[in-house]
Copies of this chain bind each other. A is one copy, B any other.
Amino acid sequence: MTKPGRTDDLVDAVRLALVSGVGPRHRQDLVVRFGSPSAVLAASVAELQSVGGIGPKIAARIAAAREEIDAEGELALAAAHGIDVLTEADDAYPRPLRQIHDPPGVLFRRGTLTPQDELAIAIVGTRHATRYGLAQAERLAAGLARVGFTIVSGLARGIDAASHRGALDAGGRTIAVLGSGLMNIYPPENEGLARDVAASGCLLSEAPPRMVPLSGAFPQRNRIISGLATGTIVVEAANRSGALITARHAYEQGREVFAVPGAVDSRLSHGCHALIKDGAKLVESIDDVLAELGPLAEKVACEDGTVVAQPAELLLNEIEQQVLQAIDGQPISLDAVAAACELPIHRVLSTVSVLEMRRLVRRVSGTQVVRA
């Protein structure tokens, strides 16, 4: 993804990301203040300290970074191991992540991202899942993957792994966001799963490739999981589970939060029940998810050529999709829809009724319809 002429910017973006003690919010504040990662690295210690939260120690580390941090080496290492590096300047940088208030400055990636990955749902939960939880994670992931969603999770044991596996088994796409570097898959038993994810989606991390798993990195990683997705489903979570942190990030990012209920005598359902009490949507089936998701911020172009403006469209059959594609923001007559779709008018009428029921279109008069 490194474009000609952008190499220095990229190197400096990576260098700034490697300065220890500079978290995503500080980094964002610094870049906004000085204009670019390169300008941040060229600033004096005094200038750096004028940014809120930047003390003398961190300011000194940033100012010394050009001499002390081998960003070129990290980039060469990444390239040698098939790892791409994306910054916010790249077109391939995931659009939903640009909308959160602390997007990662650099993303290391193994695998691919497609435009359709913007239709994403995160599925997360406890590492110590029950058979019930694992079965629900797999079932929901498979169902959502089948209708076109990319499943985002964290490659952890338990619910995360079951979610990735469910998407893969359904022939869908999936993204794993790691808290460690991409050359340090954690837990080790998921190395095979990581290879499969990279082949049908990608592995992402904001940490440089050799970074070891640090427990402090995982809560911060969770904002990327929720930030990539339109909504986050929590499948099983005890009180104080990391999955609840992901749910909180989703709320703060203005994304939907869903939770799967379970037996009240199962400790691992308490976190989900607490979320539901606080307003998360109760999920039994993928219909509960699709019904709840409002219009997307921007339309998504799918690989089959259709354009999706609202996730509920994904549950439409072929004729419903065809009729919906003929209707846009401008009122159009039912006769014109019938002509465009080459369908008999009675078929168009019954199909429009279905689309109205799903709140995808509405009638502006007896004979004219428009996207809802």
Contact = CB atoms under 8 A, between A and B. Distances in A.
A261 B273 contact: yes
Dominant secondary structure at the A interface: mixed
Contact of A282 (B132, B135, B260, B276): B276
Interface string A122-157: 000000000010011000000000000000000000
Nearest to A285: B264
A285 B260 CA distance: 18
A269 B265 CA distance: 14
Nearest to A135: B265
Interface string A188-222: 00000000000000000000000000000000000
Interface in A267-307: 269-270, 273, 276-277, 281-285, 288
A357 interface: no
Interface residues of A, number: 20
Nearest to A291: B277
Nearest to A281: B277
B264 A136 contact: yes
Contact of A276 (B262, B265, B270, B276): B276
Contacts of A136: 264-265
A80 interface: no
A263 interface: yes
A131 B202 CA distance: 44
Contacts of A269: 261
Contacts of A262: 261-264
Nearest to A284: B264
A122 to B, nearest CB: 19
Contacts of A132: 263, 265
Given A136-B264, A261-B261, 18 more contacts: A132-B263, A135-B265, A136-B265, A260-B264, A261-B262, A261-B269, A261-B282, A262-B262, A262-B264, A264-B284, A264-B285, A270-B284, A273-B284, A276-B276, A276-B282, A277-B281, A277-B288, A282-B282
22 contacts: A132-B263, A132-B265, A136-B265, A260-B264, A261-B263, A261-B264, A261-B269, A261-B273, A261-B276, A261-B282, A262-B262, A262-B263, A264-B283, A264-B284, A273-B282, A273-B284, A276-B276, A276-B282, A277-B281, A277-B282, A277-B288, A282-B282
Interface of A: 132, 135-136, 260-265, 269-270, 273, 276-277, 281-285, 288
